[in-house]
Structure 1
């Protein structure tokens, strides 16, 4: 009897409450709970400003709709559009140089009149997608030539974002590309060479690459008490907020850092400090557990992807999400320099949260179009 008569290839259909909408039930539930919690915290962190809350709620609703739409797109179409998406991201980054709007000494936004748009947020997704597309079309694990070309794919948007200047986003771009190379099976000798190169380049970066305010952030991170009422003020107030929350916290809407307006950026990059003050160690621990469950689920979905492209993209999305959480909570707690990375799905923002939903829409697409398996006909 021929092989075709004994075996047939069958696609495993996802099962779950939201399978009809091509959504993973576990991941959707975790994201929904996280965004609902973010609205509660934002109401308190903004000093009961309902305009902030309603604006964020509309962005969350729009993000959920985009996530569902992307989950329905045929996987091959996503793969085919990846180079175009990457090219558009590069063109928008170039446009920032000429028509970018300045804010706080940086050119990072394009003014669309109705809203400000930050192209670097799209690059966070476009770079790992393009790198996965390139490696999928060539060799896995990557050869030396593939690695060099991959570094060019990473390096161009990295340089454009670094010049804005936006060190935090540039680091995320670099990390997202490195993650794809790592998941693609890059050999350890190349990793060792990269680490040694970075170690040698750090002194040059300090003297010639970093802006003065970026150097100040690193110095402040090492010793914020050097300028407690100036450059070190924000991180000191952040640590006071987290420490004063204790184990159980002061309770929702009882943040003194908000009511007395001691902590700048309480609704954006430093909202984690408000969570620590109002909900204490228990609240922040539950938040971290929720994040870890999202990362675990994302990696699990990626393992069952239909091909290497989606495995690399899904893995990169999940691990970059981890990097987001690690950097934000680390900088707010004082164990990392302040680099301006928002807390995912919780910090107030526009482009950032929409890009997150697009990213998880791709994960939902991977979930709803899993790998095929070969089963014996009984």
Structure 2
């Protein structure tokens, strides 16, 4: 029952007065709860995996705080407003990748960063994880679906440019993830079956071409090690062998927090980044891994619900692509750590250490919240 005072207000004003604080802030409560649980729990795992490194823990917590601030800020923007700025964001992203190619900062044999001394050092490739699906969703949403062949070619060209630039850094893992984020949008736009079958048939020749002309020697060794880790147990196969040992030694309940031997005795390399789930499995066992997978499944389920309820084609394509790309992050990391996939250097979402990666990941969930909460106001008004 609307009061006389309420009748003097517009319908939208009434709805906003009666909305909860989270609704007024355009924050999805379920996503917020799951993100906070993952972010808080990850600090305990990272503290152990990093050898009780407090400075690293503080940096990760700071990155998580910045990422959550990005979630709140991004959620305030209407997706239609975002769509207007997508082309400019894509151009800026590609230009930054070219800058990396020309004068990027090199570390550990790879040139992936732009370093402004005393200000910031960041990876432009991380930004493309968000910009790529937004760009393809913006382009395809402007045309009738399913996409015509010329629109498909344009989409593939826009995907290929940053993918090639990132692969040259070299960063094969990130380039494949960005390729997947754009491909998910194209797939959800409604591809004809003959194109899907053609793409599947092209996998083998493309893989052969990448092996001979794109992949570096260390990347080839990773593939060979994946096929037979025991062929070089003290070299390229060391990571996988020690990771499997850590996962298996945890049993059902694990050895207990801070009591893992593989990571604390330095048998497990990259224990605080790519292989952090091995630390989780060793210290918290099968139960801990299953709880983490449950949280991931709830995030994926919420993302799919938001995708189904999106009212614009741009929002539906973008939400679906962000959700499925998040699934790929989880699947690839767990697959490579457990020996089911080659090692490609993909961090575990929210758990692995990494500032730019964490902020970018949270920004994607901020976009999901914007798509969902702005949908509510449109529907009610």
Which TM class, normalised by the smaller chain length?
over 0.9
Deviations 1:220-260 (A, max 9, x none): 11111111111111111111110100110001111111221
For 1:184 and 1:152, the matched residues in 2 are separated by 16
Q: 1:112: Cα distance to partner?
A: 2.4
Helix, strand or coil: the match of 1:342? Answer: coil
Cα distance in 2, alignment partners of residues 75 and 168 from structure 1: 29
Counterparts of 1:8-19 in structure 2, within 5 Å, are 18-19=22-23
1:129 has 2:134 as partner? yes
What's 2:26 paired with? 22
1:257 aligns with 2:262: yes
- Residue deviations 1:46-100, cap 9 Å, x none? 1111111111111101110111001012332211111111111101110101111
One of 240, 245, 258 as aligned partner of 1:240: 245
CA contact (8 A) 2:78 2:371 kept: no
Distance 1:25 1:265 in 2: 34
1:228 matched to which residue of 2? 233
| Matching residue of 2:367 | 362
| Alpha-carbon distance, 1:355 to partner | 0.5
Q: Secondary structure at the match of 2:106?
A: strand
8 Å contact from structure 2 (residues 173, 344) kept in 1: yes
Q: Secondary structure at the match of 1:370?
A: helix
8 Å contact from structure 1 (residues 314, 366) kept in 2: yes
The reply to whether residue 31 of structure 1 matches residue 35 of structure 2 is yes
The residue number in structure 2 matching 1:341 is 346
Q: 2:80 aligns with which of 73, 76, 80?
A: 76
Runs of 5+ unmatched residues, structure 1? 1-8
1:4 corresponds to which residue?
none
With the length of structure 2 as denominator, give the TM-score of the two structures. 0.93
- The secondary structure found in structure 1 opposite 2:111 is strand
Equivalent residue in structure 1 for 2:294, among 289, 293, 297: 289
CA distance change for structure 1 residues 16 and 238 in 2, over 3 Å: closer, same or farther? farther
Unmatched 5+ residue regions in structure 2? Answer: 1-10
Residue from 105, 108, 114 that aligns with 1:104 = 108
1:293-315 Cα distance to aligned partner (Å, 9 max, x none): 10110111122123000111111
TM-score by length of 1: 0.93
Contact 2:147 2:191 in 1 (8 A): yes
CA contact (8 A) 1:38 1:345 kept: yes
Q: Distance in 1 between matches of 2:146 and 2:356?
A: 34
Distance 1:27 1:351 in 2: 20
Q: How many residues align?
A: 367
The CA deviation at 1:17 is 6.4
